[in-house]
Amino acid sequence: MWLSLILLGGALAGCSAQQQQSTTHEVEQDVRNLSKVDGALDVRVSAAIAAQAGVNTFHVAPAAHNGVITLTGTAPSHEVDRVIVQTVRGVSGVKGVVDHITIHS
């Protein structure tokens, strides 16, 4: 997001005040829309994980950012971790998965 704002600042340097306001509003709207998309993706991923038998969702927390899901928490085995990661990869809208789940037997 910071990179977007820096680039926006550079792009706005040669614009009129009205053009700057319009462009700033468009970028802010894009950021809000992206947050809504990531929020909806978080919900779909959590539901998909919860639907898997044997997966305790209280120990796994997904977080979406630009369509990439970062998984944190614990799993009882590598097998359960693989099930979680494969499940998340199968959710519509997921662009990638970062697996930070630790195994605790």
Listed by start position, the domains of the chain span 2-103
pLDDT above 70: percentage of residues in the chain: 61
CATH number assigned to the domain covering 2-103: 3.30.300
pLDDT above 90: percentage of residues in the chain: 41
0.85 cut: is pTM over it? no
Query: How many beta carbons lie within 10 A of that of residue 64, not counting itself?
Result: 23
Half-sphere exposure of 60 (CA within 13 A, CB side): 34
For residue 79, which amino acid is it?
A: E
